[in-house]
Amino acid sequence: MQGWQQLSQDAATGHLAPIKDRRFAAPAWASSPAHLMMAHLYLLSANAMGKMVEASDVTPDVKDRLQFSVMQWVDALSPANFFATNPDAQAALVDSGGESLVAGLKNLLSDVQRGRITQTDETKFQVGENVATTQGAVVFQNRFFQLIQYAPSTATVFQRPILLVPPCINKFYILDLQPENSFVRHAVEQGFTVFLVSWRNPLEQDKDGIDRATWDDYLEEGVLKAIDVTREISGQKQINALGFCVGGTVLATALAVAAARGEQPVAALTMLTSMVDFKDTGALGVFVDEQHAKLREQQIGQGGLMSARELGATFSFLRPNELVWNYVVSNYLKGETPAAFDLLFWNGDSTNLPGPFFTWYFRNTYLENKLRLPNKLTCCGERIDLRKLNMPTYIYASREDHIVPWRSAFASMSLFSGDNRFVLGASGHIAGVINPPAKKKRNYWVASDKASHTDPAKWEAQAAEVPGSWWPDWYEWLAAHSGKKIKTAKSLGNTQHKVIEAAPGSYVKVRAV
C-alpha cells in the first residue's frame, strides 16, 4: 500500500522515475504517463507476489514450484505482452502505416505452422554451409549415430585422439558453429585428432524400432561403439573422451560399464557442464516428481518419442522473458524479423528422444539420483560404480548455469577417483562453454591441486580468477594426456571403416519439426 501511495504521489507531480527493466525501456513508455504508471504498478505487484511466495510456510520443494508458477503467470501478464497496453507496439503501427501489424500476423501464422517461436532469422543459416563446416568425414554409422572424423590442419598431431560426445537432446554443431567460435575447429588447430558422435534424430515415421531404444542401447550401440571405432581407426589402445551436458552423463555411465568389464578404453576424460550427481537439479527440479515420472512411463515408457517441441518449450520457459515473451513482442506485436544468431538457430534445431531412453534417464537420475550410488544400477548387464573411473578428469562448469548448477558439476570431483581438475567458467550453460580465446571475453577460476575436492564453497574460496577463455587451459591439460606428436595421416578412416560421406553427415540435417 505504501508503494501504491508513493507511485500515486509521483504520478500526480509528474515525477515517475524511468524504468530500467528492458521490457519498458523504449522511449514510448517514458513519453506516456499512463503507460509508465501501468508498468510501475505491474512491477510493484510482481514484486509483492514474489515476497508472498518467500513468506509462505511450505517445504523448499513446494516453494520452488510456487516461485516457478508465479513467475510464469507474472511474466505472461506483463503489459508489454499485449498490443492494447504496449505503447511501443502502438507507435510501430502508426510509424509503419500498419505494415508492422501485417508483418506481425505473418510471423505469428508462420510460427503456428512451425509449432514454436522463431528466435532468429533461420533463413540465414544452413547446416554444412555456414554452420557445422569444419572439414571431415563420416567414417561409421549405425541406427544411433554417425561418427565424424575431422581432417587435421597441422603437419603433426598428438598420438591419442579425442572423441566428443555431445548431448543427444540437441544437435552436435553447438560445438562446431562458425569457424571463429567452433570448439571443434580450434581443437583441430591445436594438433588434436578429433572424432565426434552425431546422434540420430528419431522421427515418428521411422520403422526400425528406434522409438523403443533404451538407455542401455545408447551406451552399448552408441558411446561404447563409438569408442571402439575411434580406437580401431587411430590404432590406439586408449583414447581421450569428452562429454557435454547429457553427453557427459551417458559417457560416464558407459565408461563405468567398461570398468565393470575390466576395460579402460579412455585415458583422460573431460566433462563439460555435466551431472552424475543429481541432488541439485537447478531450474529443472520443478518438473521432477513421482507423478511426472509415472505419467511419462505410461505415455512413452514402452515406445514412442519425447518430442523436440516439448523439450524445447520446457527449456524456453525456464527463462520466459528472454526466450518467449521477448519474441512475442518483437515478432508479433511489432512485426520485426529477429536478428541472425547462430546459437539461437542451433537452439531451435532440437531433437526427439526415444521414450524408453528418456523415462529411464528421468527416473534414475533426476528423480531417484541412483547413478552416484555404487553398484545401485545395472546397465548393459553390469553393476556400475563411478568410483572405478580413475583416469585423469577435467571437469568444467559455468557459474551462471541454470540447467547444470556448477556445484552439481563439482560433485563429480568426489565421485571420480582419479586426478581431477575442476575449472569454473563465467556465464551460462552454453555461452560459458562456447568462448573462443580470440574474443578475449569472460574469465574462469582455477585452484591448486591441494584445493578441496569435496566442498565447493572451500574450493571457490581458494580459486584464482583468470581473464579470458578456459579453452587454452584445457588444451594444455589435454596435451599432457595425448601422447607424443606423430606425422599427420594422409586420409580419414581406415580399410575397415571407410569414408561414407563428408562432414557434417546426413543425420544432423534431419529436423524434428
Residues annotated as catalytic are: 245
Q: Helix, strand, coil: what percent of the chain each, to 5?
A: 45, 15, 40
Radius of gyration of the CA atoms of the chain, in A: 25
Pairing label, strands 485-487, 382-383:
unpaired
Q: What is the DSSP letter of 127?
A: B
The conformation of residue 218, written as its DSSP 8-state character, comes to I
In this structure, are residues 434 and 469 in contact, taking their beta carbons and an 8 Å threshold?
no
Q: Determine whether 513 is exposed, middle or buried from the number of CB atoms within 10 Å of its CB (0-12, 13-18, 19+).
A: middle
Cα-Cα-Cα-Cα dihedral sign, residues 398, 404, 405, 408: negative
Helical spans, DSSP H, in 20-151: 27-30, 33-55, 60-76, 87-95, 99-114
CA atoms within 13 A on the CB side of 411: 20
Buried b (16+ CB within 10 A) or exposed e, 459-483: bbeebeeeebbbbebbbebbeebbb
Grid coordinates representing 67 are 516461485
Confirm if 73 and 46 have CB atoms less than 8 A apart. Answer: no
Query: Which position has the grid cell 547446416?
Result: 127
